[in-house]
Chain A
């Protein structure tokens, strides 16, 4: 019987190994993020002052859509090839296994976006002083989005072509994250205090981290019944 730590490492190790075998799929969200943010200067205006006004919102919306795009691959293959069925029968806490999977997923899809965000922000005229808050708010925010998305994916994974349903289900729930995240970046660009929205984001992340895994496991058990 593996301990809980061994179980976590086993799941994380397996998913990292699988990701390395088809990394072309893994970098898709990052490329999407970069392409979408690059389109705005082309469509609106190359004028830096104008771009600066919308930059916080653009980066955040792009990050949110990229994270939604990445969810597609989160549980689907494991459910289709029967692995998830075996996991529910392993006599191990499914909630922890799904959380480990979600954390790995964030490392592969969320973290690259966080690391890339200062560069993208700069391209949109964001001052260097806002880099820290941008990356920090995105780190907290994409964490929230990954967990919320994982719950939605666990619910819709058995539905054929559940992508649209997933977006309808998850995007409204993600609104608060978007609002506080973009607000924090905007405030920091104007040199104002950002502790409020960042604290709220951190509180949301803690809430989702503690309750999310149980919701994921309950949803997944319903999905593998079919």
Chain B
């Protein structure tokens, strides 16, 4: 890991300190701490069931904190939840797509919660993710990989600063993974932050990419 003071002199935007989490009787997260600055990618790795998803859900604000502290822009999450959520794009295991709506409709209804979006913009994004032919198809008729790409289109269209992605490349083919890595690199170059849980390390060898191993 590069010395943070040398590589990035800017203040960390997201600061997680001493996070503990119990699920039932199990002490799942035992004092997890990390901080990320603008333009950084943090990949959380570890075996199945170690608490990667729970950690991401804590960071996204879906799970209440039992002990520990999460700060966004130096303010605790609990006191500026809405402001934090407006800058957050969260991709879960499930794609959050309605099977009865088309890709365009799905993206319209989910992205419009954050900002005004034109159909043209949505089509361009689907084109970029190489699922333009699915734009007017109901989601139930798509393959698992195509659905994932549409879900990724939502993350990109939201224009959020912080991406929290839970195994984003599930069901993607190699071309899809390459494409998604380019999108991630672009987001980091623009000063975005990414926290992911992944079994396969993405953007290997790029600066400002770190891993956090959970035991």
The interface of chain A, by Cβ under 8 A from chain B, is 1-2, 6-7, 10, 14, 17-18, 21-22, 77, 80-83, 85-92, 224-225
Is B96's CB under 8 angstroms from A14's CB? Answer: no
Q: Is B90 a contact partner of A1 (Cβ separation < 8 A)? A: no
- The reply to whether A10 and B100 form a contact with Cβ atoms under 8 Å apart is no
A selection of 22 A-B contacts at a CB cut-off of 8 Å is A2-B112, A2-B113, A2-B116, A14-B109, A18-B98, A18-B100, A18-B101, A21-B100, A77-B98, A81-B94, A82-B94, A82-B95, A85-B94, A86-B90, A86-B113, A87-B113, A89-B62, A90-B113, A91-B85, A92-B82, A92-B113, A224-B62
Seed contacts A10-B109, A77-B98, A225-B62; 10 additional CB < 8 Å A-B pairs: A2-B113, A7-B113, A21-B100, A21-B101, A81-B99, A85-B92, A85-B96, A86-B110, A91-B85, A91-B88
The binding surface of chain A is classed by DSSP as helix
Residue B15 is within 8 A (CB to CB) of chain A in the complex: no
Report the nearest B residue to A224, measured CB to CB: B62
Type the 1/0 row for B21-54, where 1 means its CB is closer than 8 Å to any CB of A.
0000000000000000000000000000000000
Q: Nearest chain A CB to B191's CB is how many angstroms away?
A: 20
A-contacting residues of B (Cβ < 8 Å)? 60-64, 81-86, 88, 90, 92-101, 105, 109-110, 112-116
Task: Give the A-B contact count at a CB cut-off of 8 A.
Answer: 72
Q: Do the beta carbons of B82 and A91 come within 8 Å of each other?
A: yes
Q: How far is the CB of A108 from chain B (nearest CB, A)?
A: 15
- 6 tightest A-B contacts by CB? A82-B94, A91-B85, A82-B96, A91-B86, A21-B100, A90-B113
Contacts of B112 in A (CB 8 A): 2, 6, 10
Q: For B100, what are the chain A residues with a Cβ–Cβ distance below 8 Å?
A: 18, 21-22
- Interchain CA distance A7-B114 in the complex, whole Å: 10
Q: A18-B98, A81-B94, A81-B97 are in contact. Are A89 and B114 (CB under 8 A)?
A: no
Evaluate contact between B90 and A91: CB separation under 8 angstroms.
no
Residues of A within 8 A of B88 (CB): 89, 91
Compute how far the CA of A92 lies from the CA of B110 in the bound complex, rounded to whole angstroms: 12
Q: Which residues of B contact A17 (CB under 8 A)?
A: 101, 105
Select the residue from B62, B82, B93 with max chain A CB neighbours within 10 A: B62
Inter-chain contacts of B86 with A (CB < 8 A): 1, 91
